[in-house]
Amino acid sequence: MDMFDEMQGQEGHIRDPYATFDAWLSEEDATRLRAKSREAEDLFRLTGITFNVYGRSEAEERLIPFDIIPRIISGREWQRLERGIEQRVRAINAFLHDIYHRQEILRAGRVPQEMISGNEAFLPQMIGVMPPGGVYTHITGIDLVRTGPDDFFVLEDNARTPSGVSYMLENRETMLRMFPELFNANRVRPVSDYPRNLRRSLAASAPPACEGTPTVAVLTPGMYNSAYYEHAFLADKMGVELVEGHDLRIVDGRVAMRTTRGYQPIDVLYRRVDDDFLDPLSFNPESTLGVPGIMDVYRAGGITIANAPGTGISDDKAIYSYMPEIVEFYTGERPILQNVPTWRCNEKESLDYVLANLSELVVKEVHGSGGYGMLIGPAASKKELKSFERKLRARPGNYIAQPTLSLSTVPVFTNKGLAPRHVDLRPFVLMSPERINVTPGGLTRVAMKKGSLVVNSSQGGGTKDTWVLED
Amino acid sequence: MLGKTAGGLFWMARLLERAENTARMIETGQRIALTRAGSGADDWLSVLQAAAVSQGYQEKHGEVVPEQAIDWMLRDPDNPASVMAVVAQARANARLVRTALTHEAWEAVNSFWMLLRDALARKIPIRDLPKVLSLIRERNALTRGAILGTMLRNEIYDFIRIGTFIERADNTARILDVKYYVLLPSAAAVGSRLDNVQWDTILRSVSAEGGYRMAVGPDVTPMGIAQFLILDKRMPRSLNFCCAKLRDNLNYLASDYDLRLPCHQLADTLCRRFMSHDVTAIFDYGLHEYVQEVLGHLSGLSHQVEIDYRFYG
Amino acid sequence: MRLAINHTTRYRYTAPVPYGVQQIRLYPKPTRAQTVVDWSITVKGATKQVEFDDHHRNHVMLFSFDPDVTELVVHSQGLVDMADTAGIVGPHEGLTPLWLFLSSTGHTKAGKGCREILRRIAGGTDLERLHDLSSQIHGAIAYETGKSEIAWTAEDALAAGHGVCQDHAHVFIACARAMGLPARYVSGYLRMDGQDEQSATHAWAEAHVDNIGWVGFDVSNAISPDMRYVRVATGLDYTEAAPVAGHRYGMADEDMDVTLRVTQQQ
């Protein structure tokens, strides 16, 4: 299988976007770069850019490996991606509105009703609820992979609470601090206005009950959550309060936070707490992370919850396979971004195909995330294949399968020089009633192990700074 | 500001101050051990008492052994008030209020914790003790400097200062409480060298042996010590100084919020104690009783601040 | 027929409650069988925060506890004009899709007990089968108060062989859904013949039958609801249609008592 390297190209000569960088690199001394690489790591540790690992001791904080070689995308390449991402996010938002209202797409038979009725991410409490400004997905992350110069595929949509944006911002800060000269030689589109755009975008989605300048806050499950650093980071950069469930009460018909001066209403809550834990009165009654009654205030128009509850119905891996139909249905256009071909194992023919070709496919859990519970056929042992086959037969509806794509590589810096590693890309998209804003670039995740296709940070993946050049 | 954030700042500051005080107690204990013969078990016991960690120690170890006492105060995982544990808690609070701190202040606290974690990974041999203690002192100074030099003088800063001074006053009062008997006139009448060592201990426990000479003079007397640690306005660890700062910072909040709360009343009452007393009056009243009352008052004030500024709901 | 309703629920707490919220679904639903002439709800010990119509078109009010209360009193009263529709509520309305009423919930999961009942069901039409279902359940679960628990599932009640109106409704709903018919839970008021004082609020079930719409079944009394039945709230099961649901902080235990008068005025 031909591997596409984004820097070296297929034929082994440096691709255009990397020309200036390559010239700089060839002048650089490996010892200095090694020192810089270590310096970057110290910087991350000092700033406290760590994540907590699930299933380990509460106090353990780990660093996501950062690689100093940037991933570079040309302005022209980006333009097409941006249009495709916008189209997709618009369609996702329209789909959500439809699913929680008339369900025209089900009536039209374009998406089977079972995809919704049997889905735990579907929240009946959202039926008939119109989120302020009609926005469901204030923040979306669209995971993309690349297989060739012009071949990008959407791997996954993240419409619940996509994380990683703090790494995008800190990676850039780190590169700016360490290699300022690179940014003189290359015209890299900035990402640093993301927090300001996020705040603006959230404020623009304020509820009818808001008077004056909207008060925004970030709701975190707390400092032991794996993404706590990011929650604090975003609250800090936006200049808003970082709250937990026990800071909040229902006061005067609003959700209000306990301040040193008493309770003050919140207009827009950027919550990083999952639906199920958001409100013990409406959802999981055992939850202590949420706010009892917040859904009632929401339904009465007293607060904006971002993203809206119930958006998980659109980023489910089973729904994913219908995304081309969804985009066409709501935009009337052909999808600009391709989906990875997907077999739904709940369909008999697909299941047969998947079982017959298991060693060549990637099989994922429909509701899973973070790279857990998935099978990478080509990398699996006979024994693993056998045991997965049993799982598949037992609960076919729980799985989808995709071909193993020949993911593009970008070099990483190792002690022995540059070495190609597989990457993906998560651009971040902001949506307000007025506009859609795609931050140029996004988070590039990289599999640090040679040949590995798993880029998830929870499984040892690293990150890179992502540059979109002004052409 | 969130009530929780105010609480986090208050506790971050208290715990940083506590770490420094505990480290200083260890230094004092070590100093006495070096300057006198005998096992020093009694001295270490009173050091443990002054640092308010003697009960847990005795439950675990019984007999006071200097090495164990040092390890207990520095890093024993069973001691929730060890320097390591306290700095870890201070850092956890800083992490909680991360959005209220400057980058520099956060990094100072975070790197303090990281360095200390490495330095205290293993039991400290006596010969390495000075190095570790000076690391704690330096890092605390750096953290204080980062806060002082980069934080806006606003409510955030006020809560930090309130935490610092409550803890500091509490620490000084506790040292006086544990050692009051060596300052009593009846003890002074004995006039032995032993008492001088005890007096020295008290001064060192609050980093005041140099200051005392400068402010009071070369003659160390119980009356002089009590005067210096309780009433002297120039001494940054005296009860009078700390309580005045405490009241000042509470008053900044009151004028900032345009709201006086019960804690302000309590702070005023506390400060009046130092105006209306001279040190002989305190001795007449009973040094022990006096210090006990101050301790009670401080804990009441701390609690009232929590309520008035809604730290917990 | 005009019914006058006077309903008081009094909660007493063993310690002051620092904070909590109470969701109240106590506003009778206007349907072709019932017209609300006059209705008012007052709550002592708590303050109204918001109100809205939920996805079952229940009118919901959210109250928050006043600081450190030890007693909460929820009082509703009013007049409702009733018409006899032979238990037929009418066509499905609203955005909530009918298929949602086929989903099983924690309280309404059909298991061994339900399957046994279903095997015995006879009848040519869906409607006949539903009536038979109602009487089968009536026979399988004796109505006995004070011996069941509010958290019981349909299967729990079947295993116990006794239960209250809530259990009857849950079993009916579980079975109807297993038959492929949408079903829902109804909470409301029932005027028992010849008595003004009622011991508690009532609950029954509704199933959706093609070409007829929603039809009510009161298993406990082995009839379909008539003019004596005032519909207040509906849901997939008890938890969605409960007249009062709350979440409170603190350690206090709760003690509840209900007084309910339903009188016939015309």
Digit-coded pLDDT (tens) for C189-232: 999 988 899 988 999 999 999 999 999 999 999 999 999 999 99
Q: Report helix, strand or coil for A338.
A: strand
**Is the model's pLDDT at C234 over the cut of 90?**
yes
Supply the pLDDT for residue A458.
Answer: 72
**Is the model's pLDDT at A57 over the cut of 50?**
no
C232 and C114, same domain (yes or no): yes
Q: Is B113 on the interface with A (CB under 8 A)?
A: no
SS (HEC) of A383-408? HHHHHHHHHHHHCHHHEEEEECCCCC
Q: How confident is the model at residue B38 (pLDDT cuts 50, 70, 90)?
A: low
Distance CA C52, CA A222 (A): 31
Taking the CA of residue A364 and the nearest CA in chain C, the distance in Å comes to 26
Q: How confident is the model at residue A447 (pLDDT cuts 50, 70, 90)?
A: very high
CB of A432 closer than 8 Å to CB of A201 = yes
Supply the pLDDT for residue A11.
Answer: 73
C158 and C216, same domain (yes or no): yes
The HSE-up count of residue B294 (CA atoms within 13 Å, CB side) is 32
Q: Is B77 on the interface with A (CB under 8 A)?
A: no
Convert the pLDDT of each residue in C80-113 to its tens digit: 999 989 889 999 999 999 999 999 999 999 999 9
Taking alpha carbons only, the member of A413, A411, A434, A415 closest to residue A423 is A411
How many Cβ atoms from other residues are within 10 Å of residue A56's Cβ?
A: 10
Q: How confident is the model at residue C164 (pLDDT cuts 50, 70, 90)?
A: very high
Q: Closest partner residue to A46 among B92, B110, B257, by Cβ?
A: B110
Supply the pLDDT for residue A417.
Answer: 87
Instruction: Give the domain extent around C40.
Output: 2-82+244-265
Convert the pLDDT of each residue in C20-56 to its tens digit: 999 999 999 889 899 999 999 999 999 999 999 999 9
Q: How confident is the model at residue A58 (pLDDT cuts 50, 70, 90)?
A: very low
Q: Are strands A66-73 and A462-468 parallel, antiparallel or unpaired?
A: parallel
In this structure, what CATH number is given to the domain that contains residue C200?
A: 3.10.620.30
**Is the model's pLDDT at A302 over the cut of 80?**
yes
| Among the ranges given (A86-90, A344-348, C113-117), the one the predictor scored with the smallest mean pLDDT | A344-348
The mean pLDDT of A106-133, rounded to a whole number, is: 94
Count Cβ–Cβ pairs < 8 Å, chain A vs chain B.
Answer: 58
C25 and C103, same domain (yes or no): no
**Is the model's pLDDT at A52 over the cut of 80?**
no
Convert the pLDDT of each residue in A195-254 to its tens digit: 999 999 999 999 999 989 999 999 999 988 888 989 999 999 999 999 999 999 999 999
- Report CB contact under 8 Å: A236, B99: yes
The mean pLDDT of A127-150, rounded to a whole number, is: 96
Determine the angle formed by the axes of helices A382-394 and A348-356, rounding to 10 degrees: 170
Residues of chain A with a CB closer than 8 angstroms to some CB in chain C: 100-103, 106, 113, 117, 124-128, 249-253, 280-281, 285, 292-293, 296-297, 299-300, 302
C77 and C138, same domain (yes or no): no
Distance CA C99, CA A119 (A): 13
- Report CB contact under 8 Å: C49, A297: yes
Distance CA C42, CA A105 (A): 43
Supply the pLDDT for residue B279.
Answer: 87
C156: its two tokens:
């729990």
Q: Are strands A254-259 and A343-344 parallel, antiparallel or unpaired?
A: unpaired
Q: How confident is the model at residue A55 (pLDDT cuts 50, 70, 90)?
A: very low
C62 and C150, same domain (yes or no): no
C6 and C19, same domain (yes or no): yes
C186 and C208, same domain (yes or no): yes
C104 and C197, same domain (yes or no): yes
| Among the ranges given (A19-28, A198-207, A249-258, A359-368), the one the predictor scored with the smallest mean pLDDT | A359-368
What average pLDDT does the structure give for chain B?
89
**Is the model's pLDDT at C15 over the cut of 80?**
yes
Which chains sit next to A, with 3 or more Cβ pairs under 8 A? B, C
- For chain C, how many structural domains are there in total? 2
Supply the pLDDT for residue A79.
Answer: 96
Interface test with chain C among A277, A283, A296, A297, by most C beta carbons within 10 Å: A296
Distance CA A365, CA A401 (A): 9
Q: How confident is the model at residue A62 (pLDDT cuts 50, 70, 90)?
A: confident
Q: Is C92 on the interface with A (CB under 8 A)?
A: no
Q: Is A243 on the interface with B (CB under 8 A)?
A: yes
Instruction: List alpha helices for A179-312, DSSP H.
Output: 180-185, 194-203, 228-238, 275-278, 294-299
Contacts 24+ apart (CB under 8 A), A451-457: A451/A422, A452/A379, A452/A421, A452/A422, A453/A362, A453/A376, A453/A379, A453/A404, A453/A407, A453/A422, A454/A371, A454/A376, A455/A371, A455/A422, A455/A423, A455/A424, A456/A370, A456/A371, A457/A51, A457/A64
- Report CB contact under 8 Å: A247, B2: yes
Convert the pLDDT of each residue in A31-45 to its tens digit: 999 999 898 888 887
C107 and C163, same domain (yes or no): yes
pLDDT > 90 in chain C, percent: 89
Distance CA A45, CA A5 (A): 30
Supply the pLDDT for residue A43.
Answer: 83
Chain B residues in contact with A242 by the CB 8 A cut-off are: 2, 98-99
C181 and C148, same domain (yes or no): yes
- Report CB contact under 8 Å: C52, A296: yes
Q: Report helix, strand or coil for C248.
A: strand
- Report CB contact under 8 Å: B4, A258: yes
C163 and C237, same domain (yes or no): yes
Convert the pLDDT of each residue in B207-228 to its tens digit: 888 888 888 888 888 888 889 9
Bridge partners of residue C40, in order along the sequence = C77
C159 and C102, same domain (yes or no): yes
Q: Closest partner residue to A128 among C51, C55, C62, by Cβ?
A: C55
**Beta-carbon contacts of residue A130 (< 8 Å; ≥ 6 apart):** none
In this structure, what CATH number is given to the domain that contains residue C249?
A: 2.60.40.2250
- Report CB contact under 8 Å: C23, A251: no
Taking the CA of residue A256 and the nearest CA in chain B, the distance in Å comes to 11
Q: How confident is the model at residue B182 (pLDDT cuts 50, 70, 90)?
A: confident
Answer whether the bond into residue A307 is a cis peptide, omega within 30°.
Answer: yes
Q: Region of C190 please: left (phi>0), alpha (psi -120 to 50) or beta.
A: beta
- Does the predicted model carry a pTM greater than 0.95? no
Q: Kindly tell me the burial class for residue B217, based on how many C-beta atoms sit within 10 Å of its own C-beta (0-12, 13-18, 19 or more).
A: exposed
